[in-house]
Chain A
Amino acid sequence: MNAKDDIIIDVKNLRKVYTIGTERVIALAGIDMKIRRGEICCLFGPSGSGKSTLLNMLAGLEKPTTGEIAIGGARIDKMNETQLADFRRNHFGFVFQSYNLLPALTALENVEMPMIFRGVDKNIRKKQAVKMLQYVGLKDRIKHKPTQMSGGQQQRVGIARAFVAHPPVIFADEPTGNLDTHTTYEVMDMMSAMVKKRGSTMIIVTHDNEIAAYGDHIIKIRDGKILEESWPKQQIAAAE
């Protein structure tokens, strides 16, 4: 199959305008982009560039003002709240900068969460969650609450939660923003290995060059527009 045809995310002329009081703020000023299945795509730019807004819209958390977003052919810009919730549940995994684990639940229960929402049988989801926690190296932290874990450990729980239900698309918003350098590499290695192993697609929002280096496809964003698009690994591969 021609790789170029295997587009999982197709964005056309995406605009987002916020009205704050009488002021109109243009967050995204017409974005066109395509992301291929299996790619690690970095939305790279300084804060205020609109990269997080773009991610939120791709993930169906925010409505575009105009434009089209098709994910695996499904027009999520046309969906209502209920349909979006269903779509997120069945197709997306999320990794957040501030982890966003439920404080009342144990690591295991947090990882089980997406499968609980999907109505997966109790025994099956428990087995899967344990396996996932084992993979991220937290087998002995299963019964711990988030407050009893370090930031790196919490983010690994977050990763386990994002991948556990095998979603085709993973969204990661500054996933290492709160972590030290050593842990940052650990976490990034873990995520990219998982994405490659499963053939899933990951969209990472970052302002960090070193994170962007993990990307197959880098989209530089500034002032709500795409400044530059590159595929460094392909170029390297081509050069070799």
Chain B
Amino acid sequence: MSFLDILKMAGGNFLRRKARTLLTVAGVVIGTMAVVIMLSIGQGMEKGYIEQLQSWGSLTQIEVYPNYSGNEDEQTYLNEETVTTLEALDHVEVALPTTRQYGGLIMGRKINDLGINGIDITKLDYYDLELENGEPVTAEMFAENGYLIPYTSVFQFYNPKQGWSDENDPYIYDEETGERTLKELPFDITNPDEARVKMAFDMSYYWGGEGNKPKGYDVRCAGVMSSKAQGNFSYSLVMDMKTLDEMYKKYQKDNKIDTKESDKNKNKYDSLYVVVDDMNNVTDVQAEINSLGYQTWASAELLEDVQEQMGMIQAVLGGIGAVAFLVAAIGISNTMVMSTYERTREIGIMKVLGCKLSNIMTLFLTEAAIIGFAGGVFGIALSLGLSKIMNMLSDSGALAMFSMGEGIPISIIPIWLIVGGIVFSTLVGVISGFYPALRATKLSALDAIKNE
């Protein structure tokens, strides 16, 4: 008996008992939905946590620190050699150095205290810089003492004699709801006619400290960084590290600061990030960097804990859904056992006519598998719909308390869950059909045709 014939026969048997077949399939639909929706909520939670982690720094980045052990021999530094060494490691895409100086901007009588980051503009693409106006950040921007300024920093020019005022707050607060909204930029800082700005390194004069008014150096604002930026570059200026270095040396010379004293510090860079090709390789690369004598931190360290916790939550959620599936499986078994009772005579006739036992077995397993498959397909379709509704409710605020954050859906159904759901329900169908199928093959052919 070919499988096509078995399939045709199985299909015919369903059409004879439409109501019962539909009810059994409905049970599987509910079971599938229970499992899929529960797991999709788990997926949503996991995604929420991962996004939260990412907001603390990219999950593929490792921050590298020198080893301050105090022992001269073991002391390590961050310099060009370090970058070369780290970039030679497997899975490392690039090592991103940053230098840092403290100083500020001077605009007429107003000042703005800021950190200044120097970056390696040959690796510009890796620094994750974004402009508020959406234009790409290019190396040309950093020419002629060009710098980028964070959106909120544009507001923070103040007169040191008067101190901060409301003007320096980049946000407007709604008194009733307490919600804050970002103000529009007060002036175009990139236009030198509108804002004549200079950079200085020692602002202590303005804070009432000793000494002279610092000398301001000519700089050019090339752009305002995105207000949505997070991490290192959301509160400091960004420049080409070469430019920053030259300016700082000039400052040292102008103020007769002993450069030899400061050369003792062999750390050329103030921080160093290593970008790894894949999240899963972070731990290995981290261990390797540690063995080279550096200290490291990666937000991916937290990821493992989160993933472990999420695995447990998913197992619990899936387990709850599985109860509904178990009930559905019993439903399939029940339907198929009933079917063998009703079709005792038919099975008997088939056996007398010499139908192979394996064919009868396959026939019943196929019928059970069809119930499972159909239930799986409809269950997935309805789950996709329900998932969409849940996410819409979450966006509109009705289910916001379950949401992991703005714009993060409550329920996520990935492709593997769709395919897995259908395969699983079909498999459950086959397993549920096993006992009834075995029962059918064991029916006595003679008894079956004897009873009138």
Judge if A240 is at the interface, Cβ distance under 8 Å.
no
- Contact, CB under 8 Å: B352 / A117: no
Judge if B354 is at the interface, Cβ distance under 8 Å.
yes
Interface set, chain A 98-133, CB cutoff 8 A to B: 98, 100-105, 113-114, 116-117, 119
Contacts of A61 in B (CB 8 A): 352, 445-446
CB distance from B223 to the nearest CB of A (A): 74
Query: How many Å lie between the Cα of A117 and that of B354 in the bound state?
Result: 7
Interface set, chain B 1-16, CB cutoff 8 A to A: 1-2, 5, 12-13, 16
Interface set, chain B 330-381, CB cutoff 8 A to A: 345-346, 349-357, 359
Query: How many Å lie between the Cα of A170 and that of B356 in the bound state?
Result: 19
- Contact, CB under 8 Å: B355 / A89: yes
Knowing A98-B452, A102-B346, A117-B359 are in contact, say whether A89-B353 is a contact too (CB < 8 A): yes
- Contact, CB under 8 Å: B352 / A86: no
Judge if A209 is at the interface, Cβ distance under 8 Å.
no
Judge if B449 is at the interface, Cβ distance under 8 Å.
yes
Judge if A94 is at the interface, Cβ distance under 8 Å.
yes
Across the interface, name the chain B residue whose C-beta is closest to A100: B349
Query: How many Å lie between the Cα of A103 and that of B343 in the bound state?
Result: 10
- Contact, CB under 8 Å: A81 / B357: yes
Query: How many Å lie between the Cα of A35 and that of B1 in the bound state?
Result: 32
CB distance from A41 to the nearest CB of B (A): 20
Contacts of A96 in B (CB 8 A): 449
Query: How many Å lie between the Cα of A40 and that of B292 in the bound state?
Result: 98
Contacting residue for A62 out of B13, B345, B446, CB 8 A? B446
CB distance from B201 to the nearest CB of A (A): 90
Query: How many Å lie between the Cα of A161 and that of B13 in the bound state?
Result: 21
Contacts of B449 in A (CB 8 A): 96, 100
- Chain A, interface size: which category? 20 to 34
Contacting residue for A85 out of B345, B355, B446, CB 8 A? B355
Contacts of A116 in B (CB 8 A): 1, 5
Contacting residue for A114 out of B13, B354, B356, B445, CB 8 A? B354
Judge if A200 is at the interface, Cβ distance under 8 Å.
no
Contacts of B445 in A (CB 8 A): 61
Query: How many Å lie between the Cα of A100 and that of B355 in the bound state?
Result: 15
Query: How many Å lie between the Cα of A92 and that of B353 in the bound state?
Result: 8
Contacts of B345 in A (CB 8 A): 100
Judge if A82 is at the interface, Cβ distance under 8 Å.
yes
CB distance from B206 to the nearest CB of A (A): 95
CB distance from B117 to the nearest CB of A (A): 76
Residue of B350, B353, B449 with highest tally of chain A CB at under 10 A: B353
Query: How many Å lie between the Cα of A113 and that of B2 in the bound state?
Result: 12
- Contact, CB under 8 Å: A114 / B12: no
- Contact, CB under 8 Å: B353 / A88: yes
Contacting residue for B352 out of A88, A90, A101, A105, CB 8 A? A88
The dominant DSSP class at the B interface is: helix
Contacts of B13 in A (CB 8 A): 104
Across the interface, name the chain B residue whose C-beta is closest to A101: B349
CB distance from A76 to the nearest CB of B (A): 13
- Contact, CB under 8 Å: B357 / A113: no
- Contact, CB under 8 Å: B1 / A56: no
Interface set, chain A 37-94, CB cutoff 8 A to B: 56, 59, 61-62, 81-82, 85-90, 92, 94
Residue of B13, B354, B445 with highest tally of chain A CB at under 10 A: B354
CB distance from B367 to the nearest CB of A (A): 13
Contacts of B352 in A (CB 8 A): 59, 61, 88, 94, 100
- Contact, CB under 8 Å: B354 / A86: yes
Query: How many Å lie between the Cα of A90 and that of B449 in the bound state?
Result: 20
Query: How many Å lie between the Cα of A81 and that of B5 in the bound state?
Result: 23
- Contact, CB under 8 Å: A104 / B16: yes
Residue of A59, A90, A94, A102 with highest tally of chain B CB at under 10 A: A102
Query: How many Å lie between the Cα of A98 and that of B348 in the bound state?
Result: 13
Knowing A100-B345, A104-B12 are in contact, say whether A114-B353 is a contact too (CB < 8 A): yes
Query: How many Å lie between the Cα of A114 and that of B345 in the bound state?
Result: 16
Contacting residue for A117 out of B1, B16, B346, CB 8 A? B1
Contacts of B16 in A (CB 8 A): 104
Across the interface, name the chain B residue whose C-beta is closest to A90: B354
Query: How many Å lie between the Cα of A34 and that of B351 in the bound state?
Result: 27
Contacts of B351 in A (CB 8 A): 85
Across the interface, name the chain A residue whose C-beta is closest to B446: A61
Contacts of A105 in B (CB 8 A): 12
Across the interface, name the chain A residue whose C-beta is closest to B359: A117
Query: How many Å lie between the Cα of A85 and that of B444 in the bound state?
Result: 12
Across the interface, name the chain A residue whose C-beta is closest to B6: A116
Contacts of A94 in B (CB 8 A): 352-353
B372-411 contact mask (Cβ, 8 Å, vs A): 1 or 0: 0000000000000000000000000000000000000000
Query: How many Å lie between the Cα of A61 and that of B345 in the bound state?
Result: 15
Knowing A61-B445, A100-B345 are in contact, say whether A117-B356 is a contact too (CB < 8 A): yes
CB distance from B452 to the nearest CB of A (A): 6
Query: How many Å lie between the Cα of A90 and that of B355 in the bound state?
Result: 10
Query: How many Å lie between the Cα of A114 and that of B5 in the bound state?
Result: 12
CB distance from B245 to the nearest CB of A (A): 84
- Contact, CB under 8 Å: B354 / A85: yes
Further pairs besides A56-B446, A87-B354, A104-B346: 17, Cβ < 8 Å: A61-B445, A62-B446, A82-B356, A85-B355, A86-B354, A88-B354, A89-B355, A94-B353, A98-B452, A102-B346, A102-B349, A103-B346, A113-B353, A114-B354, A117-B354, A117-B359, A119-B1
Binding site for B on A (CB under 8 A): 56, 59, 61-62, 81-82, 85-90, 92, 94, 96, 98, 100-105, 113-114, 116-117, 119, 161
The 29 sampled A-B contact pairs (Cβ below 8 Å) are A61-B352, A61-B446, A81-B357, A82-B356, A82-B357, A85-B355, A85-B357, A86-B354, A87-B354, A88-B352, A88-B354, A89-B353, A89-B354, A89-B356, A98-B452, A100-B449, A101-B349, A102-B346, A104-B12, A104-B16, A105-B12, A113-B350, A114-B354, A116-B5, A117-B354, A117-B355, A117-B356, A119-B2, A161-B353
Binding site for A on B (CB under 8 A): 1-2, 5, 12-13, 16, 345-346, 349-357, 359, 445-446, 449, 452
| A-B CB proximity, top 6 nearest | A89-B354, A88-B354, A61-B446, A117-B355, A100-B349, A116-B5
